[in-house]
């Protein structure tokens, strides 16, 4: 199985901050990397696929970068509704695997 | 707007079979473009892919669960289902159904709200 490791596990930030979350794959997954946002008690929401492609309706302050084994999710100008947990997921091979999540909290 | 809704018992006894159904509305479960997926989340933990099924019945399972798992589809009811046998408390989780696009990246673009299943005697 491909292991996905996110860092940090949690972070505190203020509204308006630029936030960066990192995801590392245990092997080369090219650009088969997806990002989701999850709020407590809710299902995850698709943000980004193919490492850099924004899903329809997702605000442009979200962006993704990277390829191979190292990927980044950036939120440029954190908004109150962005406080949530973010997960990366690889779709290079089965079983699909997720990172452990990064919780973005209010400072 | 596509909607997915999980249903099934919220409490299952150890060693018994966990059975859940996902009803898809606002779109057809048949068609070449989608895989229908089960994902679970242990309390306070991350996400675990269980498996998915194509409308034709072809299924792909997580090897860690494969020996206990059956995913099936009923196109006449626009539903797909999960059966996980011989459950233990390690199977206590929120179970989500979701749609995966069958393109290159198979991202999960629509999700059900999730249903908590507790394994307890």
Assess whether pLDDT exceeds 90 at residue A45.
Answer: yes
CB contact under 8 A, A43 and B96: yes
How many angstroms away from the CA of A46 is the closest CA of chain B? 6
**Identity of the residue in A43, A87, A95 whose CB atom sits nearest the CB atom of B46:** A87
Give the lowest-confidence range in A23-32, B28-37, B40-49: B28-37
Helix (H, G, I), strand (E, B) or coil at B58: coil
Q: Which residue of A6, A43, A71 is the best one to mutate when testing the B interface, meaning the one whose CB has the most B CBs within 10 A?
A: A43
pLDDT (tens digit, 9 = 90+) per residue, B8-39?
999 999 999 999 999 999 999 997 789 999 99
Mapping DSSP onto H, E and C, the string for chain A reads: CCCEEEECCEEEECCCCEEEEEEEECCCCCCCEEEEEECCCCCCEEEEECCCEECCCCCCCEEEEEECCEEEEEEECCCHHHCCEEEEEECCCCCCEECCCEEEEEC
**Identity of the residue in A55, A87, A95 whose CB atom sits nearest the CB atom of B63:** A95
pLDDT (tens digit, 9 = 90+) per residue, B99-109?
999 888 999 99
CB–CB contacts below 8 A, A to B: 55
Average pLDDT, chain A: 97
pLDDT (tens digit, 9 = 90+) per residue, A61-104?
999 999 999 999 999 999 999 999 999 999 999 999 999 999 99
pLDDT, position B32: 79
How many angstroms away from the CA of A101 is the closest CA of chain B? 6
């Amino acid at each position: 199985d491909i292991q996905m490791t996110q860092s940090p596990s949690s972070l505190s930030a203020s509204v308006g901050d630029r936030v960066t979350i990192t995801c590392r794959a245990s092997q080369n997954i090219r650009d088969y990397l997806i990002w989701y946002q999850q709020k407590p008690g809710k299902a995850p929401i698709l943000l980004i696929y193919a490492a850099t492609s924004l899903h329809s309706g997702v605000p442009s302050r979200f962006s993704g970068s990277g390829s191979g084994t190292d990927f980044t999710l950036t939120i440029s100008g954190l908004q109150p509704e962005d406080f949530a947990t973010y997960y990366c997921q690889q779709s290079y091979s089965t079983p699909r695997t997720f990172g452990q999540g990064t919780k973005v909290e209010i400072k | 707007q596509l909607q997915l809704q999980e249903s099934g018992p919220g409490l299952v006894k150890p060693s018994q079979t966990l059975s859940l159904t996902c009803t898809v509305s606002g779109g057809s479960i048949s068609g070449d473009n989608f895989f229908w997926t089960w994902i679970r989340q242990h309390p306070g933990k991350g996400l675990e892919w269980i498996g998915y099924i194509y409308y034709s019945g072809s299924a792909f399972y997580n090897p860690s669960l494969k020996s206990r798992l059956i995913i099936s589809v009923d196109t006449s009811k626009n539903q797909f289902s999960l059966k996980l046998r011989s459950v233990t408390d390690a199977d206590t989780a929120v179970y989500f159904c979701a749609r995966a696009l069958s393109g290159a990246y198979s991202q999960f673009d629509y999700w059900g709200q999730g249903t908590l299943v507790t394994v307890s005697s």
